[in-house]
Chains A and B, each alone.
Chain A
Amino acid sequence: MRASLQQRFSAWARARQTRHEGTVTLTQRSVYIIPTRRGFAFAGALVVMLLGDINYVLGLGYVLTFLLASMGLMSMLHAVRNMLRLEIRAGRTEPVFTGDMAEFRFHLHNPRPLARHGLHLRDEHGHHTEFDLPANQTLEVGLPVPATQRGWLATGRLTLYTEFPLGLFYAWSYIYFDTRVLVYPRPAPAARLPAAGGPSGSGTVNVAGDEDFTGLRSYAAGDTPQRIAWKALAREQGLQVKQFNAVQGNELWLDWLHAPSEDPEQKLAILARWILDAEARGLTYGLRLPGLELRPASGMAQHDDCLRAIALFGLEAT
């Protein structure tokens, strides 16, 4: 009964709500409110108190009971007011690897001279974050969600809610943003890079000897710890990675067919490792997937394009 009511309400709320774009402002129309379980328990306690007042003819008992009831009633107004006129907009997201925490970022703006307290943001799977929003301020709120599989991770329907001030009422609003995080396959622990060479790309590069250190670049998620420039970190230059100039002029093809595994997901994991390693060494590399070829190039754009291709490989283009 309860579950079916909830379902019907959700469907109804979804029907009157379109996907949000840009900035959403919470209005009376989009904020709902119901008593919480604690609210019902409180009402029950008040009824018991009232019976006591009647039975023991406690004049002051009536005063207390009615005062508490009025506080409960007023807390409903406070809860709704705590939400109204808030402006929320989706922020940029950063790609992550499977197994890491993706973070959806939202900018919440309180345009009014009234501080908001005890706000919560939650997705449909119970991932949850809590914050306060001072008067006339904007706050960037992150909602961490574990990335479990490669591809696009969408937020789905979000709920912004509050139980402030007394926890007797639950005021909430649904927010539908099209924001999503790209999840790359988690790179395999280690895999030997294929050799650079002709277009076929067979053979291996002599990894150990003839690499030239060319400089440093910023650390990107997935870089191997071996290549972190610890000295640079010690000089407080941030997390940097050593770049090496490998055999110049040779094109390195990272090919699906050459990934040493039978399992497609494992192949993708190895490809991800190769992309990271190739990029770390400053190689020029291309990617070949069944039905897709990315021409050899180097730099972060190539790194991102390649990872994106393997993240979305075999999935419906969205």
Chain B
Amino acid sequence: MTAAPRPLTAAVIYGLVLSVLMVCAPHAEHLPLWLSALSGMALLWRALIARRNLALPPRWLLLGITLGGIAGLLIVYHTLFGQEAGVALLIMLTALKLLEMRTARDATLVIYLSSFIIITNFFYSQTILTTLYMLATLLVIATTWLHLQSARLTLRPRLRIAALLLAQSIPLMLVLFVLFPRVQGPLWGMPHDDLARTGLTDSMSPGSISRLSLSDDIAFRVTFKDVPPPRERMYWRGPVLSAYDGQTWTVGKAQTGRPPQLDQLSGDVDYSVMLEPHYKNWLFALEMPVHVSIPARMAYDFELLQREPVSSREQYDVRSALNYRANADEDPFQLRYALQLPPGLDPRARLLAQGWRKQYGSDETIMQAALRYFNQQGFVYTLEPPALGGNAVDDFLFNSRQGFCEHYAGAFVFLMRAAGIPARVVTGYQGGEFNALGNYFIVRQSDAHAWAEVWLQGRGWVRVDPTAAVSPARIRNGLAAAIPNSAALPLMERTSSAWLLRVRFNLDLIAYQWNLWVLGYDSMKQMALLSRLGMADVTWRKLALYMVGILGSLVGLFAALMLRRLYPRNADQAQRLFLQFCRKLEKAGVVRADHEGPGDFAARAAAALPQHAAAVRDITARYVALRYGETHPPGALDALRRSIAAFKL
């Protein structure tokens, strides 16, 4: 069915090279440098071959380059499968495919591969900017694609047709996007976390959270149903760390079968969280969540966990009780675990804590003593603390006295345990930035925080934030207020002019809505939207019917619009009017034969009705001009209509 293969013109090849360049360019950021260079060289080489009319490289050379490239990929990624290695392989093969592209069939394959590479870019970015770039890329691809079908077409009409095709497709795409029955992924397995992500992990060592604080990345966004709680009560609970090895706090193995118990709940807040993917299982919520809208379980230490890692943006509604009593009746095993310390390390800290134990009677007063110690012994809250020695807690408490929240939380829990009070480290986020335009909070990685939790008889697990004792501003006003004018602070955290702030909030509001409605549009949102539009109890089958129906009408509408230019209305209407005229003559006994053209008929009618000859000739001449003429003066149709109406026998 296809024509004989014809060689590709240089213009087509430039189009293909540009297409491949455009789809691959966003990947340069995370591809190994040598691979970007290799692909770039291949594109350049192909363009040069087309320009100078050179020969394509021999197959053995291409095979050699390909094998070399695959070996390189294996060294970098240790596999050819999986998300990142797969994308790298696809890009390399597409770039090299250009170098052995001979026929229109090869070119079509390159077009398809390019479209496919666009989608792989969405693993990394799905912003509005990415969408605009995608549209620009599609325009280039479509323009080249057209060229494969008609080699003589020049750039301008090609661009015009491609833009038209793209513009016509957008309404259809919107219908498909809204109504195509959505299936909840994943289908065959989770995307791997082989990409470097910023976010909390299940361990904490000195420096880990201060490093995280340098990132502007958004962790999640929160919309409160009613009045948001005060900032100093916004503790977004994440991983709970109970085991300490002298350097690093980890989750530990303190799992018990006993379910977590919350009582004496009050101070309910309702809010909805849109969590960015962080490839770990926990969900963030204010201490303590009592109800979550998506399937999740609460661990023994009040971590909110999902079965599968959060690999895509997730939205959930939570109700939290700000006042609570957590596990007042704690498992003795759990309490013993929360007292363990690595043997032999940090003797001075132990002595200090044991001194407090002798001096003060109750756990509460020992706690107060420790906080007072941080507050009054010249401790500094800083993003750039000096490195600590082997006895890290001693070194921090008695020598450097400079630290970030992980230092304070860790040292505090150490002191409590040494004084015989069960305690553990809780990590998560604290506070958030309020976007007044969209009435929601933005919580960034720079809001990452660590605090402590101690277990008190009769009160259960109680939150204590030693950072607040050192730098109350951090808790009340955020990092930027606590560490003003630090060069290490991320750009977003630095206070800037009100105007800049407004722009920033506007941009984030748009991004938030985009994430909520476009990227987060799933089967649940689909059902919610359709029921709001009045389509009650939508089933899969109904949805498909709606989709096909609306799509069909849209295509029909486009067909009518597009074919209108092929069937000019003037000619049709002129013909209708002329038939009217013929019927009038018919009544007078002059019947037009099927084979009779308008000219012959007019001559015959004029002869039969000599008193009307002039009118008959005039009307026929006007009709012929409208029906068969190249140009129609405006108003010609109306003139014909008037003269036929005036024609009386």
Contacts and interface: CB of A to CB of B under 8 A. Distances in A.
A113 interface: yes
A17 to B, nearest CB: 19
Interface string A79-105: 001001100000000000000000000
A45 interface: yes
A81 B562 contact: yes
Contact of A77 (B157, B177, B562): B562
Interface in B590-649: 630
A59 B520 contact: yes
Interface stretch (A164-172, A217-225, A301-309): A164-172
Interface in B531-563: 555, 558-559, 562-563
A120 interface: yes
A130 interface: yes
Contact of A115 (B157, B311, B568): B157
Interface string B107-136: 010001001101100110010001100100
Nearest to A170: B1
Give the interface centre of A70, A112, A170 by most chain B CB atoms within 10 Å.
A70
B185 A54 contact: yes
Contacts of B1: 36-37, 170
A81 B118 CA distance: 30
Interface stretch (A61-69, A187-195, A198-206, A292-300): A61-69
B172 A61 contact: no
Which residue among A42, A64, A120 has the maximum number of chain B CB atoms within 10 Å of its CB? A64
A55 B185 contact: yes
Contact of A61 (B3, B122, B168, B520): B122
A163 B566 contact: no
Nearest to A51: B187
Contacts of B519: 59-60
Interface in A34-67: 36-38, 41-42, 45, 48-49, 51-67
Contacts of B558: 74, 77
Contacts of A55: 185-189, 191
Contacts of A56: 122-123, 185-186, 191, 311-312
Given A59-B521, A132-B153, A70 B185 contact: no
B333 interface: no
A38 B108 contact: yes
Contact of B112 (A42, A114, A117, A162): A42
A162 B153 CA distance: 14
A166 B153 CA distance: 13
Given A70-B169, A165-B146, A166-B146, A58 B126 contact: yes
Chain B CB count within 10 A is highest, among A54, A128, A136, A165, for: A165
A258 to B, nearest CB: 46
A54 B519 CA distance: 12
A26 to B, nearest CB: 10
Contacts of A136: 630
B500 interface: no
Interface residues of B, number: 63
Contacts of B176: 66, 69-70
Nearest to B277: A57
A116 to B, nearest CB: 9
A interface residue count range (under 10 / 10 to 19 / 20 to 34 / 35 or more)? 35 or more
A207 interface: no
A157 interface: no
Chain A at the B interface: SS class? helix
Interface centre among A37, A52, A53, A167 (most CB of B within 10 A): A167
B293 interface: no
Contacts of A167: 108, 145, 148-149
A123 B52 CA distance: 37
Interface in B142-179: 142, 145-146, 148-150, 152-153, 157, 161-162, 165-166, 168-170, 172-173, 176-177
A63 B189 CA distance: 22
A81 B561 CA distance: 11
B466 to A, nearest CB: 39
Contacts, number: 171
B555 A118 contact: no
Contacts of A78: 161, 165, 562
A163 B519 CA distance: 35
B165 A60 contact: no
Contact of B122 (A60, A77, A84, A117): A60
B34 interface: no
Contact of A60 (B131, B170, B172, B191): B131
A68 B176 CA distance: 11
A71 B520 CA distance: 24
B197 interface: no
B138 interface: yes
A162 B161 CA distance: 16
B335 to A, nearest CB: 41
A167 B563 CA distance: 20
B507 interface: no
A176 to B, nearest CB: 20
A139 interface: no
B59 interface: no
Interface in B507-544: 518-522
Contacts of A42: 112
B4 interface: yes
A73 interface: yes
Contact of A36 (B2, B118, B148, B183): B2
Contacts of B138: 64, 67-68, 71
Contacts of B126: 58-60
B567 interface: yes
Contact of B165 (A45, A112, A115, A165): A165
A250 interface: no
Contacts of A51: 187
Given A36-B1, A45-B112, A66 B134 contact: no
Given A42-B112, A55-B186, A70-B172, A114 B165 contact: no
Nearest to A126: B4
Residue in A74, A117, A162 whose Cβ sees the most chain B Cβ within 10 Å: A74
A75 interface: yes
A67 B630 CA distance: 38
A48 B187 CA distance: 12
Contact of A57 (B118, B150, B186, B559): B186
Given A58-B122, A165-B165, 15 more contacts: A53-B119, A55-B185, A55-B187, A56-B185, A56-B312, A57-B522, A60-B122, A67-B170, A70-B173, A81-B562, A84-B563, A112-B566, A117-B152, A164-B150, A165-B161
Interface of A: 36-38, 41-42, 45, 48-49, 51-71, 73-75, 77-78, 81, 84-85, 112-115, 117-118, 120, 128, 130, 132, 136, 162-167, 170
23 contacts: A49-B115, A56-B122, A57-B186, A60-B131, A61-B122, A62-B521, A63-B518, A64-B134, A65-B119, A67-B166, A69-B172, A70-B168, A70-B172, A71-B169, A73-B172, A78-B161, A81-B566, A112-B566, A112-B568, A118-B153, A132-B150, A165-B165, A166-B145
Chain A to chain B: the 5 pairs with minimum beta-carbon distance, closest first: A59-B519, A70-B169, A70-B172, A57-B312, A118-B150
Interface of B: 1-4, 108, 112, 115-116, 118-119, 122-123, 126, 130-131, 134, 138, 142, 145-146, 148-150, 152-153, 157, 161-162, 165-166, 168-170, 172-173, 176-177, 180, 183, 185-189, 191, 311-313, 518-522, 555, 558-559, 562-563, 565-568, 630
